[in-house]
Structure 1
């Protein structure tokens, strides 16, 4: 679960970062929250295919890691919103070049398949 290991237990910065964002869904959650704060159901719609259980688990881990802020509004029924913390915003900024690389790589693979097929 998230960055539970001691800082000295990491081999490098990438190891520490991947401990926080590793897996299929966390990057997509961060990407969605980059745009705005969302209530749980809205966020689930922004991340197609994620189950309620997995989203709940990942949001808790990201909250423990200081990446996501969970705000409970004192209303009836209670309204809960999730947003990025300043640390989460910095993490998304760090992940942006990786997203650019991914988009470029996908385009190259698609072009290569088109030419060979």
Structure 2
């Protein structure tokens, strides 16, 4: 079933919510530490955002391929089951026809023997 996933524009609130859903955070009382980031946040974002977007698209491609393979597997399993049912049905028809032929031959032999007697 198709699902729409918005890639851009990113909204920080959605990213935080998604991160909270994906990871369990160990909540312990901790001391507050102030970090100094080098380079600044804008430079980091400009470096990370293209890679993040690329990975999101790559994930979508992989999921599409996995979905395609799953659909093929289901189709092949159904075809195999249908072929097995068809083989069983044709074997039954063949055995019935063979039995009718044998019965017909026996009746012919019995009729010929009766005619000679």
TM-score bracket for the superposition, by shorter chain length: 0.3 to 0.5
Instruction: Write 1 or 2 for the structure with the bigger share of helix.
Output: 2
Q: Structure with the greater relative contact order (CA < 8 A, sep ≥ 6): 1 or 2?
A: 2
TM-score by length of 2: 0.34
TM-score by length of 1: 0.34
